[in-house]
A and B are shown apart, each in its own frame.
Chain A
Amino acid sequence: AQSVAQPEDQVNVAEGNPLTVKCTYSVSGNPYLFWYVQYPNRGLQFLLKYITGDNLVKGSYGFEAEFNKSQTSFHLKKPSALVSDSALYFCAVRASNTGGFKTIFGAGTRLFVKA
């Protein structure tokens, strides 16, 4: 069965400092991995994805994520946090061998960036 774990309910970081939001996953076969961000009373907004190839993927708003197959992790990172990055972040996985778009989401990590 597919699953996603986001071990931190909340991450606090000062503006200008680097940030990391952790994610580990479990899926049979090769995973498609995604990060989405959700602002209050809004739907989910796509940030980046890993499908294949380079383990470091770059996405919107300066975010990047590193795929680590041996650790089954896909941590989200940003070199310098902004106050406007404060939001709810979701890691998600889709099994590549089942077809379709069924996607399993983690419980979310709330990022708080202090000025």
Chain B
Amino acid sequence: DAGVTQSPTHLIKTRGQQVTLRCSPKSGHDTVSWYQQALGQGPQFIFQYYEEEERQRGNFPDRFSGHQFPNYSSELNVNALLLGDSALYLCASSWRLAGTNEQFFGPGTRLTVL
């Protein structure tokens, strides 16, 4: 049973560009959350998707947007990249009806903005 997978592993972009990160949840999970982990910090919640809609959002600007597909996989899009967007982006999956359960995390995508 594959866990949470993310692609690509690493990505280098320049300021002003746009980036798309991808995530496939653990089998049986229908909810995907995205987190940004800057160097030396804990993960920061960006948003959560289930039933193909954004359900919760953290304190991130509109440059951060997402999408969830019918197969529960998800994309994170970041427009107009800033140097400060350089971070490890983590995807976490869960089953919506098991609200007390922990989330399962993928290995992350390391984004570097030059």
B42 contacts A106, CB within 8 Å? yes
The verdict on B74 contacting chain A, using a C-beta distance below 8 Å, is no
Taken together as a complex, chains A and B put the C-alpha atoms of A41 and B37 apart, in Å, by: 12
Given A43-B107, A43-B108, A44-B90; A107-B102 close (CB under 8 Å):
no
B78 CB to closest chain A CB (Å) equals 19
A107 contacts B41, CB within 8 Å? yes
The verdict on B73 contacting chain A, using a C-beta distance below 8 Å, is no
A4, A101, A104, A105: the one contacting B94 at CB < 8 Å is: A101
The verdict on B105 contacting chain A, using a C-beta distance below 8 Å, is yes
Given A43-B90, A51-B100, A90-B42; A100-B105 close (CB under 8 Å):
no
- Known contacts A43-B4, A43-B105; 15 additional CB pairs below 8 A are A34-B102, A41-B107, A42-B107, A42-B108, A44-B90, A98-B56, A101-B31, A101-B48, A102-B45, A102-B48, A102-B58, A103-B33, A105-B42, A105-B43, A107-B40
| 23 A–B contacts, CB within 8 A, in A order | A34-B102, A36-B105, A41-B107, A42-B107, A42-B108, A43-B90, A44-B43, A44-B105, A46-B103, A49-B100, A51-B100, A100-B55, A100-B56, A100-B99, A101-B33, A101-B92, A101-B99, A102-B58, A103-B103, A105-B44, A106-B42, A107-B40, A107-B41
User: Ordered nearest first, which 4 A-B pairs have the shortest CB separation?
Assistant: A105-B42, A43-B105, A44-B105, A46-B102
Chain A interface (Cβ < 8 Å from any Cβ of B): 4, 32, 34, 36, 41-46, 49, 51, 90, 92, 96, 98-108
